Chain A
Amino acid sequence: MTDPSYKLRILGLRKTYGPVVALAGADVDMHEGEFLTLLGPSGSGKTTMLMLIAGLIQPEHGEVWIDGRLSTYMPPHKRDLGMVFQNYALFPHMTVYENIAFPLRMRKVSEAAIRDEVRRVLDVVQLAGIEARHPRQLSGGQQQRIALARCMVYRPPIILMDEPLGALDKKLREQLQLEIRRLHRDQGITVLYVTHDQEEALVMSDRICLMDKGEIVQLDTPDGLYFRPESVFAADFLGESNLLDATVRRIEAEVVHLEGPGGVPIEAPARDGLSEGMAVKFMIRPESVRLLEGTESADNTLEAALQDVILVGQVTKHYALLAGGTEVSATSLTHHRLPRFTQGDPVRFGFDRQSTVVLPVSGPTPAA
Chain B
Amino acid sequence: MNSTPKASSRAGSGARGRVDWRSLGPLAPVVVFLGILFVFPVAQLLWLSLFNDQGAFTSVHYERLFDSAVYVKVLGITFRIAAWTTLLCVVAGYPVAYLLATARVHTRNMLILWVLMPFWTSFLVRTFAWMVLLGRRGAINEWLQALGITDAPVKLIYNFAGVMIGMVHALMPLAIVTMLAVMRNIDQNLSLAASSLGARGGQSFWRVYFPLSLPGVASSALLVFIVAIGFFITPALLGSGREIMIAQVIIEQMEELLNWSFSGAVAVLLLGTTLVVFFVYDRLFGLSTMSATGGIVDEAERRPGLISRFGAYVGGRLITLMGWICDRFSDAVEMLRAPRPERPRATLSRKVLWATGMLVLAYLVAPSFFVIPMSFSEAAFIKWPPEGFTLQNYEMFLGDPIYVGAMIRSFVVALTSAGLAMLLGVPAAFVMARRPMRGKGVVFACILAPVIIPHIIIAVALFYAFAQVGLVGTTIGLVLGHTVISVPFVVVTIMAVLKNYDTRLDQAAWSLGASKLRTLRHVTFPLILPGLIAAFLFAFVISLDELTIALFVSGGQTPTLPKQMWVDAIFKLNPMVTAVSTVVLVFVTSLILVAEFARRRSEKVMG
Interface of A toward B, CB cutoff 8 Å: 51, 54-56, 58, 69-78, 81-83, 85-87, 89, 91-93, 95, 102-103, 106-107, 133-134, 136-137, 150-151, 154
Contacts and interface: CB of A to CB of B under 8 A. Distances in A.
Interface string B513-524: 000000000000
Contact of A87 (B187, B194, B208, B340): B187
Contacts of B299: 93, 95, 134
A1 to B, nearest CB: 13
Contacts of B189: 85-87, 89
Nearest to A92: B296
B193 A134 contact: no
Contact of A85 (B192, B298, B340, B341): B192
Given A72-B341, A86-B189, A106 B203 contact: yes
B339 A75 contact: yes
B452 to A, nearest CB: 27
A92 B299 CA distance: 9
B433 to A, nearest CB: 24
B212 A83 contact: no
Interface residues of B, number: 28
10 contacts: A73-B341, A73-B343, A75-B200, A76-B196, A76-B198, A86-B189, A92-B212, A92-B298, A107-B198, A154-B198
Contacts of A54: 195-196
A73 B212 contact: no
B211 A70 contact: no
Contacts of B200: 75, 77
Contacts of B193: 83, 85, 89, 91
A106 B198 contact: yes
Interface in B164-194: 187, 189-190, 192-194
Contacts, number: 88
B572 interface: no
B63 interface: no
Interface of B: 187, 189-190, 192-200, 203, 207-208, 211-212, 296, 298-300, 339-345
B344 A58 contact: yes
A244 B208 CA distance: 54
Contacts of A150: 197
B211 A93 contact: yes
Contacts of A73: 339-345
Given A58-B344, A87-B187, A103 B198 contact: yes
B194 A102 contact: yes
A98 B192 CA distance: 17
A134 B345 CA distance: 35
A347 B314 CA distance: 80
Given A89-B190, A91-B190, A137-B300, A77 B195 contact: yes
Nearest to A17: B104
Given A58-B344, A77-B200, A107-B198, A89 B192 contact: yes
Nearest to A72: B341
B345 A82 contact: no
Which are the 6 A-B pairs with shortest beta-carbon distances?
A89-B193, A106-B198, A103-B197, A83-B196, A70-B341, A89-B189
Nearest to A104: B198
Contacts of B300: 133-134, 137
Contacts of A70: 341-342
B187 A89 contact: yes
Nearest to A86: B189
A150 B80 CA distance: 46
A137 B298 CA distance: 9
Contacts of B198: 76-77, 103, 106-107, 154
Contacts of A136: 298
A93 B212 contact: yes
A204 to B, nearest CB: 21
Contacts of A69: 341
A45 B339 CA distance: 26
A367 B173 CA distance: 64
Contacts of B196: 54, 56, 76, 81-83
Contact of B341 (A56, A71, A82, A107): A71
Which of A72, A77, A85, A150 has the most chain B CB atoms closer than 10 A to its own CB?
A: A77
Which of A51, A82, A92, A107 has the most chain B CB atoms closer than 10 A to its own CB?
A: A92
B345 A58 contact: yes
